[in-house]
């Protein structure tokens, strides 16, 4: 379950609350290399920049975007390239979204809704992808399932028991605290609105009140504190409600040892031979199942249509594979989802998920190896725990090293997340990092993208950084289909922007380090540079380095 929830900090209530076409094209452009002289941005991002910062250019905009706009303006222009199928292995997706319905992969060999496997691929009615979760949605974390079903070795179960004994009471306590804070803020807000005689008010309006009672004095103090967490009190109340929902789901589903979220599917999720299961409808079940929709938009939302936002890639078909529930994904679903994507024409698979326990990891490793044998690139999110993945106990599955020091394939690229704030704080505080186990960094904090029901919203996580890189990979494979998955991976790593600046990791100033020490490449992904290098590799003008340094 690779998602981030940015909890509000709070105090106790008693303390007042807390380039080209498919052929070769001569380039006049040159790659950008020296960026350490770029001045730090001192002004706030405009609303337009906030919604589009991942596409902007560090040199021109002093924002650590991927130079996507520059790549289109100076290299791609009106060229379209070859259509690339990108599988989004994720939660369900809003297949009717105005910015996505024109870029969906369609299985033309399957007749919709006739209950038959017309193309003989083993999946019935898989028009736009497949749903390995059936009618299930809420799920336990993997280590909780291991305890419920008594699977895994004894040492893993002992570790799981200690973890559950710690995390379940914390979830219940956090839920209760958020509920208490919500009620206090809601009551204070109602009192102040009545005092001011208006529904909407600013911090300045609030501070203009001269309290005549202790209750009003406390309400003003509470709301003043809350204005440090949001631009308005309704925003803060929305955030608190999100917190209540998040911790309620943890207590009721993710960490509830007695919950069985798989029951509606009907298969044995720990028997990979127990097939078929699921159905051909990979659409999101509920509005809050939004992760896959958001990820898909980052990759391929229709460009230049005057609505919403633009995806990174301009000639992509999105294959929706529903395999990530509201909890930890099953190894079986991920392994079969990867194989489904490979067998049905995807050349890139975006995997914005991760977990700390993987009792059937070998199934996923086999699927990754299969993808490598078919020249399919896998883009994986590094995870949102702010941890150094080089530390053995900070596991993040799936991976491409089987918990060793050596990668067993060269078709997986693991992505950490950047914020829009170039300088010491440009590494997103939630992002995992690692000199060997994270390959590159890309925009991932506060990314604006598609949401169910024709909505758009900001979300943050390495889940958002991975599809940004998948979009760049799609551009390369579109204009240079001769390049292999391994070449595309290494082009992305070697063409990125390098900086010698010191950065803060995990939001902890005591963990400041140089940027080159937190990923294998030591670089930020740059679409402009990547297309130049891809062109040069494709035309034999240069060769890739022997290693990804």
Whether 90 is a known active-site residue: answer yes
Q: How far is CA 338 from CA 319, 354, 374, in A?
A: 11, 14, 11
Cβ neighbour number for residue 129 with a 10 Å cutoff: 33
Catalytic residue among 463, 478, 519, 521: 463
- Cβ proximity of 413 and 469 under 8 Å: yes
Distance separating alpha carbons of residues 133 and 288, to the nearest angstrom:
16
DSSP state, residue 44: P
- Cβ proximity of 537 and 483 under 8 Å: yes
Catalytic residue among 52, 291, 380, 480: 291
DSSP state, residue 542: -
187-195 LR contacts (CB < 8 Å, sep 24+): 187/219, 188/218, 188/219, 188/220, 188/222, 188/223, 189/223, 189/233, 189/237, 191/215, 191/216, 191/219, 192/216, 192/219, 192/220, 192/223
Q: Are strands 316-322 and 84-90 parallel, antiparallel or unpaired?
A: parallel
Tokens of 352: 């914005």
Instruction: Give the 3-state secondary structure percentages of the chain, helix then strand then coil, rounded to 5.
Output: 35, 15, 50
Distance separating alpha carbons of residues 316 and 85, to the nearest angstrom:
6
Whether 380 is a known active-site residue: answer no
308: Cβ–Cβ under 8 A, 6 or more apart, which residues?
98, 99, 297, 301, 450, 456
**3-state helix/strand/coil string of 226-269:** HCCCCCCHHHHHHHHHHHHHHHHHHHHHHCCCCCCCCCCCCCCC
Whether 508 is a known active-site residue: answer no
Catalytic residue among 61, 69, 90, 267: 90
Distance separating alpha carbons of residues 226 and 346, to the nearest angstrom:
47
* Residues with a known catalytic role: 90, 291, 463
């Amino acid at each position: 379950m690779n998602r981030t929830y940015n909890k509000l900090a709070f105090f106790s209530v008693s303390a007042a609350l807390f380039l080209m076409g498919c052929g070769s094209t001569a380039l006049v452009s040159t790659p950008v290399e020296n960026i350490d002289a770029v001045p730090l941005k001192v002004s706030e991002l405009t609303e337009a920049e906030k919604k589009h910062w991942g596409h902007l250019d560090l040199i021109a905009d002093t924002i650590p975007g991927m130079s996507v706009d520059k790549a289109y303006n100076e290299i791609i222009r009106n060229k379209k390239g070859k259509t690339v199928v990108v599988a989004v292995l994720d939660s369900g997706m809003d297949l009717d979204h105005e910015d996505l319905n024109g870029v969906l992969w369609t299985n033309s060999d399957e007749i919709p809704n006739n209950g038959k496997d017309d193309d003989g691929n083993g999946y019935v009615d898989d028009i736009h992808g497949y749903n390995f979760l059936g009618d299930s949605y809420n799920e336990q974390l993997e280590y909780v399932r291991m305890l419920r079903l008594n699977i895994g070795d004894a040492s893993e179960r002992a570790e799981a028991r200690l973890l559950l004994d710690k995390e379940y009471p914390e979830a219940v306590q956090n839920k209760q605290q958020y509920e208490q804070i919500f009620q206090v803020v809601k009551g204070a807000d109602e009192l102040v609105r009545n005092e001011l005689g208006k529904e909407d008010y600013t911090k300045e309006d609030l501070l203009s009140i001269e309290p005549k009672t202790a209750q009003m004095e406390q309400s003003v103090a509470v709301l003043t504190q809350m204005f440090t967490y949001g631009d308005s009190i309704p925003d803060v109340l929305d955030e608190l409600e999100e917190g209540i929902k998040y911790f309620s789901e943890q207590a009721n589903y993710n960490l509830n040892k007695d919950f069985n979220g798989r029951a509606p599917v009907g298969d044995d999720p720990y028997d990979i031979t127990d097939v078929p299961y699921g159905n051909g409808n990979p659409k999101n079940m509920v509005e809050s199942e939004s992760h896959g929709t958001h990820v898909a938009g980052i990759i391929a939302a229709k460009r230049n249509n005057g609505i919403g936002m633009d995806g990174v890639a301009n000639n992509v078909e999105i294959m929706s594979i529903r395999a990530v529930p509201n909890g930890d994904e099953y190894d079986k679903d991920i392994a079969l989802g990867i194989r489904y994507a490979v067998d049905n024409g995807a050349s890139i698979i975006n995997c914005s998920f991760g977990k700390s326990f993987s009792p059937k990891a070998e199934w996923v490793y086999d699927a990754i190896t299969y993808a490598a044998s078919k020249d399919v690139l896998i883009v994986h999110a590094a995870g949102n725990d702010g941890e150094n993945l080089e530390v053995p106990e900070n596991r993040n599955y799936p991976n491409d090293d089987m918990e060793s020091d050596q990668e067993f394939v060269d078709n997986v690229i693991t992505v950490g997340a950047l914020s829009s704030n170039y300088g010491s704080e440009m590494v997103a505080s939630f992002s995992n990092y690692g000199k060997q186990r994270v390959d590159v960094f890309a925009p991932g904090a506060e990314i604006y993208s598609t949401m169910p029901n024709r909505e758009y919203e900001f979300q943050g996580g390495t889940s958002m950084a991975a599809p940004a890189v998948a979009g760049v990979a799609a551009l390369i494979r579109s204009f240079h289909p001769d390049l292999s998955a391994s070449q595309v991976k290494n082009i992305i790593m070697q063409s990125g922007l390098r900086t010698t600046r010191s950065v803060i990791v995990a939001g902890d100033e005591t963990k400041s380090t140089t940027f080159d020490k937190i990923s294998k490449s030591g670089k930020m992904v740059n679409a402009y540079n990547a297309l130049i290098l891809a062109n040069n590799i494709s035309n034999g003008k240069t060769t890739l380095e022997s290693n990804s340094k």
